[in-house]
Amino acid sequence: MEFEFKRERLVLHAGGQKWEWRIEPRYWRNPLIYIGILIAAPVIVYFIYPPLLPTIIEANLLAAIAIPLALMTMSTGRMNFGPQFYIGIGGYTAALLSIHFHLNPGLTMVAAALGGLVFGFLMSPLAIISGGLYYSLLTLLFPLLFIEATLIFSDLFKGDTGLSGIAPLVSTGIFSLNLLIYAFISLAIMLVYLFAIDKIFRSRYAIQMAAINDDEEVASSIGVNVNKVKILGFTIAATLVAVVGWFYAHYYQAFSGQVFLPLSFMLKIFMVTMLGGRTQIYGCVIGGYFIAFLEMILIRTTGDMSPVLFPIILLILLLVLPEGLFGLYRKRHYREYMPTLRFRR
Amino acid sequence: MAEILKVSNVSKHFGGLTAVNDVSFSINEGETVGLMGPNGAGKTTLVNMICGSYGVDSGKIEFLGKDITRLPPWKRCKLGICRTYQIPRPFPELTALGSVVVSALHGKDRPNRSLEDAYMEATLYLEFVGLFSKRNVLARDLTLFEMRGLELARALATQPKLIFVDEVMAGLNPGEAEKAVRLIEHAKDQFGVTVLWIEHVMAVLMRAAERVIVLHYGEKIAEGPPKEVADNPLVIESYLGRG
């Protein structure tokens, strides 16, 4: 048996027979390859080094937040700096219903999604009435107000310590097996978001969003109902992010606004979005894994210094890669990705 | 000819500045009407009000007999009003074809219109303005003349009944300007649109327009056939000043 590499073909000679495989880069773009890798990774990690499973779960969840955020950014033409607000909505809804009413996780998920939907819809007019810096500041403000609310109404939200005693999603009795199942659930959430939003980004709605991103006034003058697109995009994205909050609550079996609502968590999501490439949903997956693993490595190697080093490394990366990791690819293939984002100044 | 647009006593103020003051006029179907006036006369403000970009402080705008004074711009577009811009405003991150597809998808309601249908139709309008070979070029990479062509294609793809052409000659050399004028005349013949043509260049309106409206300091000072308007002492004074 002999392998031979010639002219972008891998040739296998065995037993007098010959098999050839083309290894041209265009075949590498088959999404099934990457889905296969993402599915295989938790299984491999489970057998080799189970303590790495929480990092994979975190990576999937970061990507699952950044992907709807890309939809929100695309459809409104503005960057939301407070997506963690909807994690708070979803997480607290699930936690309160699970603790006080003993609802099962299926029902709490529906309730969390509804919570995200209602709050998303109520806050979506922000994307119409404000723009640029004002929109960013307003969206930044809401999670911080939510933290204050959790402290003021500490009877309900249990203040700093947060709510605990939430029913788990899975309980097999084996800790590492639980983690493996959580990893698959988080991966399923992320992949469903990825393909649903990919479908939207390839549809007629994407071209509306691209037009809104470029020039709202002109888009409106040629018949695009700008407000409808903004409200729909904002509300759908908020609902999807709230479901991630639901997952966090049932995964940790505890939920505290002090963990998910502060700016440090927003920074992580923001970095996933920026490093992956703004509005590039496939880039969000790369960004999610990159950030989750970078954070884990820094915590293990530098300990107490990691909260300082983490943002510094990310800032350097942002300077070196202004269009994110996916931007490196997009630079050479810009016409393949029709809707791109141009920020409002 | 039926009346397509009727503007009655519209006014617009920006703080203490009166941009348009009590202007009334009407446009008939199939007509080419010129709108002229010196810089700052309120021409573009008037068009912005008719298209819905600006609200109207007082007065009424009717299109095909329907009051559209309070309608948002996208609803006015669906009724059949579209425009081009004085300084071209293409979608810089979209290709030329993509820009026209947005119009073909929206604009006038066309039932069961798919994205593929819109792409097919968009190529027709790009071919009409001579940009078919540049369909895959990003709009920001086009020349000024091509951007103006793209704006016209984008406006025509909404299937308008009334189109506002805002200073199409600005920044073009004489050869390009001549081509642009011919293009608009062809558009009028081929697609049967009514044109309100805002222009500084008197010679163009003399040739293309059937009727001319002149604004000065936000007020209508003259209206009539081009020759008659050109000889109007008020118009001459507004352009050249008092001797």
Measure the CA angle with vertex B15, ends B12 and B21; round to 5°: 25
Does residue A213 surpass a pLDDT of 90?
A: no
Give me the pLDDT at residue A337, please: 43
> Across A58-67, A254-263, A274-283, which has the greatest mean pLDDT?
A58-67
Number of domains in chain A: 1
Instruction: For residue A338, give the chain B residue with the closest CA.
Output: B94
Given an 8 Å threshold on Cβ–Cβ distance, is A207 in contact with B72?
Answer: no
β-pairing, A254-255 with A163-164? antiparallel
pLDDT above 90 (res A335) = no
pLDDT at A318: 76
Q: Confidence band (pLDDT; 50, 70, 90) for A333?
A: low
CA distance A216 to A291: 33
- pLDDT at residue A5, rounded to an integer: 79
Between B175 and A42, where is the model more confident? A42
* Chain length of chain B: 243
pLDDT given at position A344:
35
Q: How far is it, in rounded angstroms, from Cα A73 to Cα A298?
A: 30
Q: Select the residue from A128, A205, A221, A230 to test the B interface by mutation, using most B Cβ atoms within 10 A.
A: A221
- Report the pLDDT averaged over residues B110-126: 89
Mean pLDDT of A176-198: 94
pLDDT in tens, A138-151: 999 999 999 999 99
Cβ atoms of A109 and A243 within 8 Å: the answer is yes
* Smallest CA–CA distance from B109 into chain A, residue: A223
pLDDT digits (tens, 9 = 90+) for B8-48: 999 999 988 889 999 999 999 989 999 988 888 888 899 99
Is residue A108 within 8 Å of A248, Cβ to Cβ? no
Q: Match 């890669």 to its residue by tokens.
A: A321
The stretch A160-179 carries a mean pLDDT of: 89
Task: Using an 8 Å CB-CB cutoff, list chain B residues near A214.
Answer: 91-94
Report, as an integer, the average pLDDT of B208-214. Answer: 89
Give residue B242's pLDDT: 67
Average pLDDT over residues B105-126: 88
Domain boundaries, chain B: 1-80+163-168+194-243
Alpha-carbon dihedral angle through residues A131, A137, A140, A143, given to the nearest 10 degrees: -100
Indicate whether A334 pLDDT > 60: no
Residue A170 belongs to some domain of the structure: yes
Q: What pLDDT, on the 0 to 100 scale, is given for residue B5?
A: 92
- According to DSSP, residue A203 is labeled S
Average pLDDT over residues A247-257: 93
Q: Which fold has domain B1-80+163-168+194-243?
A: Rossmann fold (3.40.50)
Question: Does residue A40 lie within any of the structural domains?
Answer: no
pLDDT in the model for residue A108: 94
User: Region A112-118: what's the mean pLDDT?
Assistant: 97
pLDDT for residue B78 is more than 90: yes
Range of the domain at A190: 49-336
Which range is least confidently modeled, A107-116, A282-291, B171-180? B171-180
Is B71's Cβ below 8 Å from some Cβ in A? no
The per-residue pLDDT for A293 is: 93
Backbone angles phi, psi at A177, to 5 degrees: -70, -40
Predicted confidence (pLDDT) at residue A340 exceeds the cutoff of 80: no
Question: Cβ neighbours of residue A184 under 8 Å, at least 6 residues apart?
Answer: A39, A42
What is the signed CA dihedral for A178, A183, A185, A187, rounded to 10 degrees?
Answer: -170
Q: What share of chain A has pLDDT > 90, as a percent?
A: 50
Lowest mean pLDDT among A58-67, A148-157, B109-118, B233-242: B233-242
Residue B212: is its pLDDT beyond 50? yes
pLDDT of residue A329: 67
pLDDT tens-digit readout, A301-331: 887 887 888 888 878 877 887 767 766 766 6
Q: Nearest Cβ partner of A211 from B102, B114, B136? A: B102
Which chain A residue is nearest to residue B98, measuring alpha carbons? A207
Q: Is A222 on the interface with B (CB under 8 A)?
A: yes
pLDDT at A343 over 70: no
The overall average pLDDT reported for chain A is 87
The residues near B111 (Cβ < 8 Å, ≥ 6 apart) are none
* CATH code of residue A137: 1.10.3470
Q: Is the pLDDT of residue A161 over 80?
A: yes
> Given a cut of 70, is residue A26 above it in pLDDT?
no
* pLDDT exceeds 80 at position A10: yes
pLDDT above 90: residue A227 = yes
- Band (A40; pLDDT cuts 50, 70, 90): very high
Q: What is the pLDDT of residue B172?
A: 81
Which is it for the CA torsion A208, A209, A214, A220, positive or negative?
positive
State how far residue B158 is from chain A, nearest Cα, in angstroms: 7
Q: What is the pLDDT of residue A252?
A: 93
Q: What percent of chain B has pLDDT over 90?
A: 44
Asked if A208 lies within 8 A of B74 by C-beta distance, the reply is no
Spatial CB neighbours of B155, under 8 Å, sequence gap ≥ 6? A222, B82, B83, B84, B103, B163
Q: What pLDDT was estimated at residue A106?
A: 93
Rounded Cα distance, A65 and A194, in Å = 11
